[in-house]
Amino acid sequence: MIEKLGNWFETQRTQKMRFWKLLFAGFLVLLVMLNFFIHPHHVEYHYDGYPGFWEIFALAASVGMVFLMKVLIQPFLVGPEEGEDYTEGGNNDH
């Protein structure tokens, strides 16, 4: 059972990635379109009244977090490989 499920996930990841990307993009567009027809009862903040604000905000925040982690944080977490010599001359004798 677990092996079948693993094979199914592998198939979805490798062969049907375009389908999943289109599905999630379509879902985001659907949420933004619903905001044009379903209005909040009481707007707490000024920008709550703009249709699609929270969807666009969430997308921008997640892209920003990925950028932050990949560009700024990852170089601090990932050090040089052991065995590689970064000293002058490249001599790795200890």
Indicate if the pLDDT at residue 47 is higher than 90: no
Cβ neighbors of 51 (< 8 A, separation 6 or more) are 32, 35, 36
State the pTM of this model.
0.49
Q: What gap in Å lies between CA 94 and CA 91, rounded to an integer?
A: 9
pLDDT digits (tens, 9 = 90+) for 19-38: 888 988 899 888 878 888 88
Domain boundaries, the chain: 2-40+48-78
Q: What is the pLDDT, as a whole number, of residue 61?
A: 95
**Which comes out higher in pLDDT, residue 30 or 87?**
30
Burial class for 35, CB neighbours closer than 10 Å (0-12, 13-18, 19+): middle
Inter-axis angle of helices 53-67 and 17-37, nearest 10: 140
pLDDT digits (tens, 9 = 90+) for 49-74: 777 788 788 889 999 999 998 888 88
